[in-house]
């Protein structure tokens, strides 16, 4: 072997070649796995998106959790409890997916609590009646399904695989919400009014879940090129509206948008723009419940310190026993 050969073997392929191979794999719809080479910006984009997603699942337990002690029947309480527990599980799968990218869950939790990482805008609104539980299942989980089913084909293997299971559970969540609303809509006038009121309050925040309009979304273009995202924010928002309008008709509720109408030329429903100033305020931390959500999360994290310490002490003890064998 000549010196040149030795040097080539030591250095390995150059970054440009690695980058080209990476792009080819992504373009061929092959999955990128944790040990594969990836551009640093791809890794940081994934950490940003998956951590934000994980935080959303964990913070997302709070608005519905508020109704666990006030559910109107044992059956409704058992269903809600199962749903809230599922959200905790989703958060854990997603934190595990971020850890395959070389970050630490404890650090991500600190970043959430200190306001350095975002979570979904939707969870910064209050749940004022039990109808909100049904409407969250119908609209919020419905929007989550539209957004997350394409993520099952995301280019990063651990994220895509986590999404498969999460989507199956979200589908149960959406159905339990819709079934609760169908029941309430066949009840008293007061119950029907509660459903209408909850729909009026959650409709616009649900549309905002998909993120800013495409023209104002700084991350979409690159995330689509990397096949992390498979559709733009506006495409998914439109899909959600098209799916949801017939469901609202079947339920017998009005969606609070006078401009909502079928456009035969486009083959889609037309609808109004959400209030993007409100969205900006909410993601900056000034929504109706941001402070409450974060302070509760911080308090729960502090209360859990002894569990983390006990688990770490147990793991260290088990390791020592293994080594002494
Ligand atoms: N809320 O360039 P863009 C659930 C941020 S959990 C807050 O379009 P991207 C459930 C965005 O992060 C649902 N922030 O970004 C749980 C970016 O800021 P940074 C959670 C938002 O990433 C319990 C900036 O705005 N789902 O369903 O290309 C009970 C510019 O945006 C939001 C997910 O996390 C928002 N709504 O696209 C029930 C799904 N939208 O980070 C249900 C996975 C945008 O640059 N995530 N921002 O400072 C995604 O699909 C994408 O990250 C998004 C945004 C479509 C959300």
Candidates 92, 211, 294: which one to mutate for ligand 1, based on the most atoms within 8 Å of Cβ?
211
- Position 7 scores a pLDDT of 43
pLDDT one-digit tens code per residue, 133-188: 999 999 999 999 999 999 999 999 999 999 999 999 999 999 999 999 999 999 99
Q: Residue 115 in contact with residue 285, Cβ under 8 Å?
A: yes
pLDDT one-digit tens code per residue, 265-309: 999 999 999 999 999 999 999 999 999 999 999 999 999 999 999
- Position 210 scores a pLDDT of 98
Q: Residue 52 in contact with residue 91, Cβ under 8 Å?
A: no
Indicate the SS3 state at residue 263. Answer: strand
Give the Cα separation of 232 and 78 in Å (integer): 36
209 lines ligand 1 (CB under 6 A): yes
Mean residue pLDDT across the chain? 95
Q: If you measure from the C-alpha of residue 6 to the centroid of ligand 1, how many angstroms do you get, rounded to a whole number?
A: 47
Return the residue whose CA atom lies nearest to atom 9 of ligand 1: 219
How sure is the predictor about 6, in pLDDT bands with cuts at 50, 70 and 90? Answer: very low
Candidates 89, 120, 228: which one to mutate for ligand 1, based on the most atoms within 8 Å of Cβ?
120
- CA-closest candidate to residue 200, choices 249, 123, 116, 256: 256
- Position 3 scores a pLDDT of 40
pLDDT one-digit tens code per residue, 96-106: 999 999 999 99
How sure is the predictor about 315, in pLDDT bands with cuts at 50, 70 and 90? Answer: very high
Indicate the SS3 state at residue 21. Answer: helix
pLDDT one-digit tens code per residue, 71-96: 999 999 999 999 999 999 999 999 99
Candidates 52, 207, 209: which one to mutate for ligand 1, based on the most atoms within 8 Å of Cβ?
52
Return the residue whose CA atom lies nearest to atom 23 of ligand 1: 60
Global pTM value = 0.94
Name the percent of the chain lying above pLDDT 70: 96
Return the residue whose CA atom lies nearest to atom 22 of ligand 1: 49
- Position 11 scores a pLDDT of 58
283 lines ligand 1 (CB under 6 A): yes
């Amino acid at each position: 072997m000549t010196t040149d050969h030795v040097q080539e073997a030591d250095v390995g392929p150059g970054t440009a070649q690695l980058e080209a191979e990476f792009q080819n794999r992504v373009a061929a719809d092959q999955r990128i796995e944790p040990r594969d080479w990836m551009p640093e910006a791809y890794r940081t984009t994934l950490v940003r998106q998956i951590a934000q997603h994980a935080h959303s699942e964990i913070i997302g337990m709070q608005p519905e959790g508020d109704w666990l002690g006030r559910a109107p029947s044992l059956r409704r309480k058992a269903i809600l409890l199962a749903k809230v527990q599922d959200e905790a599980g989703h958060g854990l799968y997603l934190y595990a997916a971020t850890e395959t990218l070389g970050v630490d869950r404890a650090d991500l939790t600190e970043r959430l609590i200190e306001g350095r990482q975002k979570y979904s805008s939707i969870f910064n609104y209050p749940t004022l009646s039990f109808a909100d539980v049904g409407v969250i299942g119908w609209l919020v989980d419905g929007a989550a399904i539209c957004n997350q089913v394409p993520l099952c084909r995301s280019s990063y293997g651990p994220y895509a695989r986590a999404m498969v299971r999460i989507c199956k559970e979200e589908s149960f969540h959406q159905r339990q919400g819709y079934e609760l609303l169908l029941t309430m809509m066949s009840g008293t006038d007061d119950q029907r009014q509660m459903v209408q009121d909850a729909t009026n309050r959650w409709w616009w925040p649900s549309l905002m879940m998909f993120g800013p309009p495409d023209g104002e979304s700084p991350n979409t273009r690159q995330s689509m090129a990397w096949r992390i995202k498979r559709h733009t924010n506006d495409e998914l928002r439109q899909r959600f509206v098209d799916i949801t309008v017939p469901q609202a008709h079947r339920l017998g509720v009005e969606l609070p948008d006078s401009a909502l109408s079928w456009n035969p030329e486009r083959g889609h429903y037309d609808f109004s723009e959400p209030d993007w100033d409100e969205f900006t305020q909410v993601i900056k931390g000034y929504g109706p419940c941001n402070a409450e959500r974060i302070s509760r999360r911080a308090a729960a994290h502090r209360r859990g310190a002894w569990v983390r310490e006990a688990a770490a002490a147990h793991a260290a003890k088990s390791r020592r026993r293994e080594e002494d064998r």
